[in-house]
Amino acid sequence: MRFLGNVLATIVGIFIFCMIFFFGIIIIGAIAGSGEDTVSVKKNSVIELDLSKVSLDYAGKTNYKDFNYFEAHHDGVTDILNAIEAAKTDDKIKGISILNNQSQLGLAQSKAVRDKLEEFKKSGKFVYAYANYYTQGEYYLNSVADQVYLNPMGEVDFKGLSSEIIYMKDLQEKSGVKMEVIRHGKYKSAVEPFLAQEMSPENREQMTVLLNSVWNTIVADISKSRKLSVAQLNAIANTLGARTPELALANKLVDKVAYEDEYHDMIRAKLKVDKKEKYDIVSITDYAKKASSTVEDYSKNDIIAVIYAQGEIAGGEGDVNVIGEGSIKRSLQEARGDKDVKAIVLRVNSPGGSALTSELIWREIEITKKVKPVVVSMGNYAASGGYYIAANADRIFAEPNTITGSIGVFGMLPNMNQLGKNIGINAEQVKTHENASGYSVFEPIDENFKGFVLESIEKTYATFLKRVADGRKMTTEQVDAIAQGRVWTGVDAHKLGLVDEIGGLDAAIKYAAKLGKTSSYRTENYPEYEKSFEDMLANFTGMAMFKTKEQLLKEQLGEEGFQMLEQIKRVKSRKGIQAIMPYEIVIN
């Protein structure tokens, strides 16, 4: 036995040595390459705006403590915007080509990129777009181009917005699996599908208002770029008037129906490059890496700290996809303790999540405000818990189509009592005190337990109302009248007083600088996430050590299947009372 134990110990030791050696090589290689430019931009170059791998506002900075190794990424939306800004004055860049772009950007992100492209065009440089097929979301972004090209066999999906919600009350009764719902807020429709078999008038009202508000923003921007009236665009949407290339051209949604090679010939002619030669292309992500070292003027001592709170609020350290109190609190503490930081911008892009974590972050902002100004910039979402952590800022900015509000709280517990009876399961309990057993999925919900949960939810909702009322200088009655879990667009939230100004991150930074009494400043991005060797190992699966778990799952499940799995994982991981967005809006 001792011999086998020694052999096993030797094998484990060799394995650990190989792992450390493997990761050491990776890190040494990364460090060696970190100081090199990833791209050399030639004269007469065109940026290709491929956003297929861009989804987050902030790509993140990570400190691997065990290795004393720091890693920064430059493929976030903010990096893309900075790259386009830098390209305006780069003599080597002649224009931007949006070629068959398939992005995962949300509406507010798309608008931010679109607005930055509008600014870029004012430099006199071109923006051209080509696609074999335009989804509605992609057309919104591409329509900013000077010339929009479409493949002769393509189409433009332009039909207006809709949202579908699946109701499961009857399914619960037939299956024997019931969701016990405890909520406050008549509009908290995240739980409505488990309580009814059809949409409530309140939910239909809020969805109609929301979709119309979002659509109005979309067509207003397209109208300006394409020189078509909103009435014309609505008529095209109603009749599917862009379903063929001929209709899209006749209705002026595109400028030319052509093949991709003809599109490239047009760009060659613009650049005065021979048809037989290739013109120089640089991808936007490569250019963003290069621009990251030149965008900021490090001779300026004053700093505006931009802290990114993106993803579901779940607690812990957090990362680029999850808001945790660890990284956000540490960022706020570092920023307020740095004498060079004159003001702070909290960039919120979150549907909400844990009410407890939201409160912890709210408290840290409250402490920070006493030292330095805090301004909030809202992205695609700043709803429920996402609004909770924004409500006490000195100033709140939102994009016109930011989804915000959703001031409400709920609890949801699965119950399989009837299913257990149907298949022959009986759960028996033994306890020392009346409430010792808490909740069992195989027993009908105890009214005492339900009362305690409702009491906690009511308390959380009352606290939520007070946080918003104090931050927005409103009464709790005024907040309650526009709360109840209802969601609003940035435009409507501005009318209601939930946000102060309509504008993007740049506008929020400029306002923060004004509050910080500085006109010569640079920005610095937070958080810097802290990870360990174990965290690094967790990203790898089995022998496929050169691919992350996410990459392997995406290959097997596809993008939509992977996103569904991630959503299930997020639901399973939620603990405690939730202040979270009622649903996810996806526009194709």
Exactly one of 178, 188, 329, 342 is catalytic; name it: 188
DSSP code of 65?
Answer: G
Least trusted range by pLDDT, from 135-139, 224-228, 454-458? 454-458
What is the C-alpha to C-alpha distance for residues 149 and 99, in angstroms, rounded to an integer? 10
Exactly one of 327, 384, 406, 531 is catalytic; name it: 384
Instruction: Confirm if 195 and 168 have CB atoms less than 8 A apart.
Output: no
What is the C-alpha to C-alpha distance for residues 198 and 167, in angstroms, rounded to an integer? 6
Which among 143, 168, 161, 171 is positioned nearest to 213, based on CA atoms?
A: 161
Greatest mean pLDDT among 10-24, 33-47, 370-384: 370-384
pLDDT over 90 percentage in the chain: 61
Q: Specify the pLDDT at position 413.
A: 85
Whether 188 is catalytic is yes
The answer, yes or no, to whether residue 68 has pLDDT greater than 90, is no
- Mean pLDDT for the stretch of residues 432-455: 86
Spell out the domains of the chain, with CATH numbers in brackets: 45-159+240-291 (3.90.226.10), 303-532 (3.90.226.10)
Q: Specify the pLDDT at position 543.
A: 41
Q: Specify the pLDDT at position 192.
A: 83
Instruction: Confirm if 287 and 555 have CB atoms less than 8 A apart.
Output: no
Q: Report H helices in 272-388.
A: 284-291, 325-337, 355-369, 385-388
Whether 384 is catalytic is yes
Digit-coded pLDDT (tens) for 185-210: 565 566 788 888 999 888 888 889 99
Digit-coded pLDDT (tens) for 244-298: 999 999 999 999 999 999 999 999 999 999 988 999 999 999 999 988 877 667 7
Digit-coded pLDDT (tens) for 462-492: 999 999 999 999 999 999 999 888 899 999 9
What is the C-alpha to C-alpha distance for residues 395 and 343, in angstroms, rounded to an integer? 12
Distance of CA 113 to the CA centre of its chain: 14
Beta strand pairing call for 540-541 and 544-548: antiparallel
Which among 567, 402, 571 is positioned nearest to 487, based on CA atoms?
A: 402
Q: Report H helices in 240-354.
A: 245-250, 260-271, 284-291, 325-337
- Beta-carbon count within 10 A of 567 CB: 12
DSSP code of 280?
Answer: P
Instruction: Confirm if 343 and 372 have CB atoms less than 8 A apart.
Output: yes
The answer, yes or no, to whether residue 517 has pLDDT greater than 80, is yes
- Mean pLDDT for the stretch of residues 379-383: 95
What is the C-alpha to C-alpha distance for residues 378 and 487, in angstroms, rounded to an integer? 14
Instruction: Confirm if 393 and 375 have CB atoms less than 8 A apart.
Output: yes
* One-letter amino acid of 407: I
